[in-house]
């Protein structure tokens, strides 16, 4: 008889993908960004402006690159890092210095923290992988203290004169690297599509403002394929 089970949701598919690619995640990020990924994560952490003795939440922490960079910047602060891939959390918790960070399984759609819990929220490559960007940003607004900052690292579709050659490069290079390095062309084909199919900076900024954030600023990176956006809760 045919199965009547509903197809997996986007969240379930994304969770499955990231559990599959954990062992190659850091290496692939270095290759796909020509070694710039770690520098962007340090930029995100530095932009969080966590006060002395404050607290920061890194969502979709993956292997913990942003969270560990934040620990270096704010050694006397409390750093929480959450993800819904348990394999990613396990990998992150093995890294040098990781014992000083609180690692926790959590869903970005329903964060297990009270209102006004953190001075800053950061995340890398979260929004392109969720069903409802506005809901996820509303949750971040909720858990931030008044005056707290959110700093976002994301991919964005290239624009301008380099749009077509960069798009072609992304379509070819990311799945090819996935095949050669991770032996997983399928997962990296998904990541290629989510990179090119995500919102522009202006679209993300519009949602941030609709949610209630102010002082929104953004800058593009890497031929316009990445962006760092910051905003403040009133």
Q: Which residues are annotated as a binding site?
A: 63, 83, 107-108
Please give the structure tokens belonging to residue 4.
Answer: 């009547």
For the beta carbon of residue 38, count every other beta carbon within 10 angstroms: 16
Cross-strand pairs, 144 = 118
What are φ and ψ of residue 101, in 5° steps? Answer: -110, 145
Q: What is the DSSP string of 169-215?
A: HHHHHHHHHIIIIIS-HHHHHHHHHHHHHS--HHHHHHHHHHHTEEE
Contact (Cβ atoms closer than 8 angstroms) between residue 205 and residue 16: no
Six-digit token string for 210: 């609709």
Task: Give the annotated binding-site residues for S-adenosyl-L-methionine.
Answer: 63, 83, 107-108
Q: Which two tokens stand for residue 23?
A: 């062992």
**Which residues are paired to 104 by β-bridges?**
82
Relative orientation angle of helices 37-47 and 25-32, to the nearest 10 degrees: 100
- Cα separation, 178 vs 9, whole angstroms: 23
88/136 Cα distance (integer angstroms): 20
């Amino acid at each position: 008889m045919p199965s009547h089970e509903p197809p997996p949701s986007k969240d379930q598919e994304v969770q499955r993908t990231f559990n599959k690619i954990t062992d190659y995640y850091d290496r692939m990020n270095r290759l796909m960004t020509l070694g710039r990924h770690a520098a962007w994560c340090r930029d995100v952490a530095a932009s969080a402006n966590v006060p002395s003795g404050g607290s920061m939440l890194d969502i979709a922490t993956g292997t913990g690159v942003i969270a560990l960079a934040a620990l270096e910047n704010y050694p006397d602060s409390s750093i929480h890092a959450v993800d819904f891939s348990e394999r990613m959390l396990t990998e992150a918790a093995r890294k040098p210095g990781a014992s000083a960070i609180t690692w926790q399984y959590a869903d970005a759609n329903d964060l297990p923290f009270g209102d006004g819990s953190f001075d800053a929220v950061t995340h890398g490559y979260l929004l392109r992988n969720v069903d409802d960007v506005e809901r996820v940003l509303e949750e971040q607004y909720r858990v931030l203290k008044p005056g707290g900052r959110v700093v976002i690292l994301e991919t964005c579709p290239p624009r301008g004169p380099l749009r077509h050659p960069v798009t072609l490069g992304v379509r070819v290079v990311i799945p090819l690297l996935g095949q050669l390095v991770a032996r997983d062309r399928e997962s990296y084909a998904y990541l290629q599509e989510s990179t090119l199919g995500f919102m522009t900076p202006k679209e993300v900024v519009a949602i941030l403002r609709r949610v209630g954030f102010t002082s929104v600023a953004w800058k593009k990176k890497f031929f316009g394929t990445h962006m760092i956006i910051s905003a403040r809760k009133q």
